[in-house]
Amino acid sequence: MCLGLPMTIVETDGISALCEFHGEQRRVSMLLLSNPPVGAKVLVSIDSAIRLLDDDEARLIGDAILGLGAALNGEDCNRFFADLIDRERQLPEHLRLD
């Protein structure tokens, strides 16, 4: 299983870009995307940007990753999953019987 990180493009030459997530920077391939600008949020997997993200989706993915890290360290992780705390549990549509 691969984990994708929501990263922000800091600088780019069109082929690769320096991207950042939570203080970590890495150079990633931009070959799968159509020349996103500096400041764009991208989902990065195995050092390749695989798709553009809007700000809300990037924040939700980032919070989930930080929340998992907090849980693994025995810390309170509820603040990272605020969008799920008071929500009724639901099966994904493809698993529902109705």
Is 36 domain-assigned? Answer: yes
Reported pTM: 0.80
pLDDT of residue 12: 97
**pLDDT (average), residues 51-71:** 94
In the block, residue with structure tokens 């939570």: 22
Instruction: Give the whole-angstrom CA distance, residue 84 versus residue 63.
Output: 12
Is the pLDDT at 73 greater than 90, yes or no?
Answer: yes
The residue type found at 42 is V
Domain of residue 21: give its range. 5-78
Report which DSSP code applies to 19: E
* CATH code for the domain of 58: 2.30.30.140
Q: Is residue 26 part of a domain?
A: yes
Measured in whole angstroms, the distance separating CA 25 from the mean position of its chain's CA atoms is: 14
Report the distance separating Cα 37 and Cα 60, nearest Å. 21
Q: Is residue 32 part of a domain?
A: yes
pLDDT in tens, 30-50: 999 999 999 999 999 999 999
